[in-house]
Structures are given as C-alpha cells and as structure tokens.
Structure 1
Amino acid sequence: MVYKSIFTALTDKALVKPLLEKASALAADYGAHLDVLCLGVDRTQVGYYYAGASAAVIQETMERTKAEAEELEELAKAELTKLGGRWSTDSAVAQLGDLGRHVAARSRFTDIAVLPTPYGEGRGLELEPVVEAAMFDGQVPVIVVPDAATPSAKPKRVVIAWNESREALDAIRAALPILITAENVHITVIDPPVHGPNRSDPGGMLAQYLSRHGIHAEIDVLSKTVPRISDVLRRHASEIGADMIVMGAYGHSRFREAILGGATRNMLEEANVPVFMSH
C-alpha cells in the first residue's frame, strides 16, 4: 500500500505554516492528497458552565470559536496555495471534550495523519486529544512531528521499537511503505525476556517477516541502562542517526499513561525525530 490520502488538523495559528509545510512535503513525496481540518476549539467547556450562565454568553463563545475556525481555514488556504500540490480544507467548531468525533469523521477515510507534538511549551490542551482521536477513533496511523524535524517518505534510517506486542506489530505493518524505502532498518529490542519462545533470537521472526517485503533489517538488542524505555530508544536513535522511530502506541490504558507516564507519552514529550505510531 502507498499512502494516497494524508490528514492533518489545525487548532493554532502559530502551527499553520510549520505543520502544513511538513504535511505538504510528505504528500508531495507520495503524490498524495492532503486533507486539512481547521478546528475552532471552545476551551471553556461551555457544556459544563456554572449554573445560571446566560444563553448570550454561550452564543458569544460559539461565535468567537467559529470565527477562529474560519480564520484558520483562510490562513491554511493561503499557505497551501503557496505550497502547491493537491489539497482540500474543511472547518468545524468543537468543545474540548468533543474533538474526537470531528477528528475521527475526517481522518478515518485517509491513510495516515501528520500531527504536531502535543506536549511542550506553547502547546494547547487540544493537541493530545487530536492525536488520540486520529489513532483510536479514526483508526489511522499517525506521524507525530517535532518542531525541528520534517517527515520523509524515504528516510535513510528507521528505528523500530519491538517488544512483541500487538500494538508494535500493527505499527510496523502500517509503516511498511516507509520501511520498504528506508536504507537501513533497525529492530530495537530492549531487555528481551529470558523466558519465552524467542529468547534465543529476539526480533528474529520479525526480521524474517520484513525480509519477505524486501527489507533487510538489523537487530539491536539493548539493555535498559536508564529508567525509561523512551530514553533508551531516543538515545539509540540519536547514536545511529535515525530519521524516524516506529512504535506501537499506548500499550497501557491511556489513563494510566497520562497519570503515570509511559513509553508513548514520554516519547511524544521529548522526541527529536518524527515518531510513527499506530494502535
């Protein structure tokens, strides 16, 4: 499969130019159509207003949010006209708690989503549910792109985070069009189990599977020398000069990830290369 329809969502004027540049570049590489959803987000959670809130206040909030969505769409159209390629835009208004429905409705009919890192300075609360909605509700793989990185359809070196989980294998299958074009693929296994069917050859069956797609993958077995799995992965990616990390998302519940942290959340907080995720 080749990605022919790419989705992205805009919720912040500051991200219009950098995000569309990255998404458009990837769409151009694949000869794909870029679908852009411009979301005006009501961050005041009008549905949970204090008792006695007037209809006028609610109406004013919705009008302001609608104006933000329309402004985002106009900015997006201007930027996309300069960038060229095949694209379309749409706008919508949503409360913070209702983002998933709008994102899913548009993203589910695309092949992949390109979205900004949801955490960090200046990032709005809506970016995390947008990423999650695309993966969970839209059921599309997502490339999360840090500010200083640009995704490529033909990365030179890709790190696969492999822990034998369903989520990891789903991400690998979804990333096959990228892995096939990569020059080097590194299956990275951290502290493989000492008991189990693959203990003597961790990553071997995956390497065999990839080889049948014409992908020659190296297997890197690493020790967890620092407290967090994400730190081991990021350090390894940096050491070998990787252009992308492929990993399964949210092996634990999203609630547990949010409260306690986890490889998914930690990676999204601190990644400096594009992260390809699927669930």
Structure 2
Amino acid sequence: MYKDILVHIPTERPMHAVIDGAIALAAKLNAHVDAVAVGYIASSTAYVLDGGAAVAAVFEMERERAVERAEAALAIFQSEARNAGISCTCHPLGAIPADAAGSLGEMARLHDLSVVLQPDPAQGSFDNDMPGEILFQAGGPVLFLPYTFRGPFRANRIGICWDGSRLAARAMRDAAPLLARAEEIVIITINEADAVRDEVSASHLARHLGRRGLSTRTVSLSAARADIQPTILSLAADEGLDLLVMGGYGHSRLQERFLGGVTRAMLEAMTVPTLMSH
C-alpha cells in the first residue's frame, strides 16, 4: 500500500496538474505526502565558492532567493492539501540542478511512490530534468502525470504494458496497490509472438494476477518499433484507460541521461497518467 508519497512541485512550470493528482491520490489512499520544490541556482554561480568571502556571500544570497522560490511554490500545494485534509510536509530546496537531482533521488528511495509532472519539451526548464532523474534514482515506482492533466486522479481502468522484461515485471509489482483497487485491468502486448518468450507471456501474467484475485483481459497488437508508443496511447484512448503501467527504460549519469525509445516517446507525448519503474 502507498502510505508515504513524495511529490515534486515545479517552480518554473505550471504546477496544478501534479498538485491536483497527488492530492486526489493521497486522499483516496489516506497517505502522507512529502512535497519538495527546488529553486534552482545557476551552475555558474556555484563556481564562485572558491572566490573568497565576498563571492561566497553572493552565492548564499542566490541560494536564499532560490529557497524563497521553492517556498512560494510549496505554499500553493500546502493550501490545497489543507483544504483536502491531507497530511503533508513541505521541503523547499535551493540547489544547482545536479545537486537537486541527487537530493530528489535520495528522498524518493524512502517513499512508497513518487508523483511527478511529465516533462514539457516546449518549455526550457530544469524542472523538465527532475522527473527522469527521480525515475532512474528512486528504486521504486514513479507516477507521471501529463502536463495537460485535469481533474482528480483515478485508476479504475488500468492498462499493463507487458513485454516480459524485468522492468515490466517490476512496474507490475510496484503497481499492486492500484491494481488491487481497479475495476478493470487490460494487459497490453505489442508484437508478442516475436518479442516475448512463452515463460513470460501475457497468458502467464494473466494467470499470475488471477491468483491474486484480479480479473484481466489481454489485447495483443502489432506495430513497427517507431509506432509502439502511439499504438499504446491509441488503445488507451479507445479503452478509456485511467492509468498505464510500464517499465522505464534507460539509465542516468546525472549530466547524461539515456532513455529507451518507447520511454522517451511516452514522456514526450503522454496523454494518460503513467506509472513507471526502473
């Protein structure tokens, strides 16, 4: 069960989608929420630390201003959380982006679930980098909410994107608290005959979930590699799915991130909340 949730509140982008989604989820699960926001300090500013007391004072002033920006964003979340009766704690940070990514990843490791906003490629912002870093560093599930998301979060109809991989299995297990509450579960496979070994086939997954008392049905589709992500989203729309569950492929080196093709495409063009695990 998700009882301890971390939510990243942007300071440089519209934040209401992630606030609304995180609060609705926490209310449904009676969970505590730790909200963290980062006021970013330009990396060039940090280089003055070796420049003596005067420049160190300038850096500290920049850090204080950054923390103020984080506090302003968190004040909006806190107001909404109190109105909803949600237990929450706010954590304002002022840091250069690389340090912020490390701190957020470490915080995520001691939470049952992290909630983040989908990156927006149309906006140049350090807030776009943090969700992917949390995914790679958390060691647990990350719920991405589309930046177009409106209304309370629900997960009545869930699609599991299944390719038999370790990451898909991890995401499926990490989504167990939501799957247990779902009204309908759809197992989605793409090119299963060519890509999935029999031992980890969709039918075996259905049997495994059935032993948990979960009823499922399977939709098997074919698609060229470049069309896998749009095929999944098209099915999600046709089925009226509230949530997708999938593995998050790639790896991170803080300054250098490599995303798998389908994962990257999903983060760039997400139309439905998606729970990913890496």
Normalising by structure 1, report the TM-score. Answer: 0.86
* Match status 1:63 vs 2:54: no
State the secondary structure of the residue aligned to 2:18: helix
Q: Is the 8 A contact 1:186 1:220 kept in 2?
A: yes
SS at match of 1:272: coil
| 2:22 counterpart residue number | 23
SS across alignment from 1:114 = strand
CA separation of 1:227 and 1:38: change in aligned 2, threshold 3 A: closer
Output the CA distance in 2 between the equivalents of 1:206 and 1:138.
25
CA gap 1:123/1:8 in 2 versus in 1, 3 angstroms: farther
Give secondary structure in 1 for the equivalent of 2:198. Answer: coil
1:70 Cα offset (Å): 2.7
Q: Which residue does 1:138 correspond to in 2?
A: 138
Distance in 2 separating the partners of 1:31 and 1:157: 20
The one-letter code matched in structure 1 to 2:147 is D
Match of 1:58, SS state, is helix
Structure 1, gaps ≥5 residues long? none
Could you tell me how far 1:14 is from its partner in structure 2?
A: 4.9
- What is the match of residue 182 of structure 1? 182
- Matched residue SS, 1:218: strand
Indicate whether 1:11 and 2:10 are aligned. Answer: yes
Distance across 1 between alignment mates of 2:31 and 2:70: 25
User: Within 5 Å, which residues of 2 pair with 1:115-194?
Assistant: 115-122=116-123, 124-128=125-129, 130-149=130-149, 150=151, 152=153, 155-194=155-194
Please tell me whether the aligned partners of residues 29 and 152 of structure 1 are also in contact (alpha carbons under 8 angstroms).
Answer: no
* Alignment check: 8 A CA contact 1:160 1:186 kept: yes
Q: Tell me if the contact between 2:12 and 2:125 (Cα under 8 Å) persists in the aligned partners.
A: no
- Name stretches of at least 5 consecutive residues in structure 2 with no aligned partner: none
Q: How much identity, in percent, do the aligned residues show? A: 29
Distance 1:195 1:145, change over 3 A: closer
Q: Which residue of 2 aligns with 1:265?
A: 264
Secondary structure at the aligned position of 1:227 is classed as helix
1-structure distance, mates of 2:124, 2:116: 12
Against the structure 1 CA distance between its residues 233 and 5, is the aligned structure 2 distance closer, same or farther, given a 3 Å change threshold? Answer: same
Match of 1:38 in 2: 37
CA distance in 2, matches of 1:9, 1:267: 19
The CA deviation string for residues 19-72 of structure 1, in whole angstroms up to 9 with x for no partner, is 2221111000001111111221124443457x9895455344323212212323
- Give the RMSD, CA atoms, in angstroms: 2.8
Shift of 1:137: 2.2
The 2-side partners of 1:237 and 1:27 are apart by 24
> 1:17: how far off?
3.5
Q: Does 1:94 align with 2:95?
A: yes
- Deviation, 1:208, is 0.9
CA contact (8 A) 1:134 1:142 kept: yes
1: CA distance, partners of 2:57 / 2:100: 23
SS in 2 for 1:228: helix
Structure 1 residues 235 and 254, CA, compared in 2 at 3 Å: closer, same or farther?
A: farther
1:93-127: per-residue Cα shift (whole Å, max 9, x none)? Answer: 11111122211232222110111111233362333
